[in-house]
Chain A
């Protein structure tokens, strides 16, 4: 049996007066990949941002309900948000490298979290992170060029390398492959497969096929509600809910 790594109960999110999530209750198993699918604007990114308290950065955003990570409540003023975020890596919908060199983008996390002592350790982490993100080959001769000089797909892999460099427990990925070609996508999927042995992964994706390939469990969101969750295999062969079926077969958007 898998342990529950993240558990949400009756989570509501408002942006000002507009409610973006309604009573979302979901358990996320440790060392598994959970995929979140649903039409644009249904609240997937909002939900993901609840888990690492990123919504705090949006003034008008109010989150209520309960979310535990390793059985500890994180929706509370007493929570040390910095330490929470250090164990949760995030990869965003749009690649967002820092305006620094490729090397520094990856080195940033391990440095500020004091993960490394020596320069060669840091070098080692940067190299292995880039390698695992499937980017090393392409950038090994230009590590000191700016991260923004890379192509969109390369930037996304750089962001993945940055996220895994701090060795987090949980990795949140918001459509990590939306800008990638099939080969780069396959590389990321292969990486996700490998990462799930050590990490808990939550991935938002617009591709049901991708959810089917990489995840063990899938949740389907619609209009801010979590309509159906279950084993991925069941969801893509025989979902219980008609809305889920309609969405994944391309019958409504």
Chain B
């Protein structure tokens, strides 16, 4: 963070520690999602199991950081930029932990599926997964650089993710209607694509937190939830 140092050195150390913890959890979560998608790609049940197991590591780190954040609030009573940073870190920590849960969900589905999966949607899900991973990488980068502009750029990326999500959702619904045998496999994929879409939302939240910490201004999400555009017309038929 491009900031003068606190007069109290241990305060600086604590803030640095919190930064490092966020980065640590961020890269763990990033890696979890990467491995979950690899497991899906290669139908690698063993890898999926490993991802599920490793969620504990994230949960433990989440709890530790959560506690440290409460301590620093009580001890330092941070103000201005420090206050915004701590407040944002509390939210980012929670969002990263939830993001990890969604990566685990994808792994859980993968370990459950022993069906032949339709190729095209799987390919599209993996591509969407790559895009989501890029978003995660960039949001972490914007935190490292403490850059409001970078955070906002990541925030804007979520719209494409939502588009991809709607596209795959349509595709899966069509597959299911055409061939009811595939319903079971497609339902699993549907859950996964939903998980990815949620990951995008969490990354967007994190971008909002970083933007606020840096600039002091809120960045609100007021875009409508468009998934209903796909589901509503189906109901009418």
Contacts and interface: CB of A to CB of B under 8 A. Distances in A.
A and B pair up: yes
Interface of A: 208-209, 212, 235-239, 244-246, 248-253
A249 B82 contact: yes
Interface stretch (B3-11, B24-32, B108-116): B3-11
Contacts of A249: 6, 78-82
A34 B204 CA distance: 38
B83 A250 contact: no
B4 A246 contact: yes
B42 interface: no
Contacts of B217: 238
Contact of B84 (A208, A212, A238, A246): A238
User: Which of A244, A248, A250 has its CB near the most chain B CB atoms (within 10 A)?
Assistant: A250
B4 A252 contact: yes
A253 B4 CA distance: 13
A220 B7 CA distance: 19
Nearest to A240: B216
Contact of A237 (B5, B76, B216): B216
Given A249-B78, A250-B11, A236 B83 contact: yes
A192 B199 CA distance: 48
Query: What interface size band does chain B fall in?
Result: 10 to 19
Interface string B1-25: 0011111100100000000000000
A250 B11 CA distance: 9
A248 to B, nearest CB: 4
B77 interface: yes
A236 B78 CA distance: 9
- The residue in B7, B76, B80, B217 that gathers the most chain A C-beta atoms within 10 A of its C-beta is B80
B211 to A, nearest CB: 12
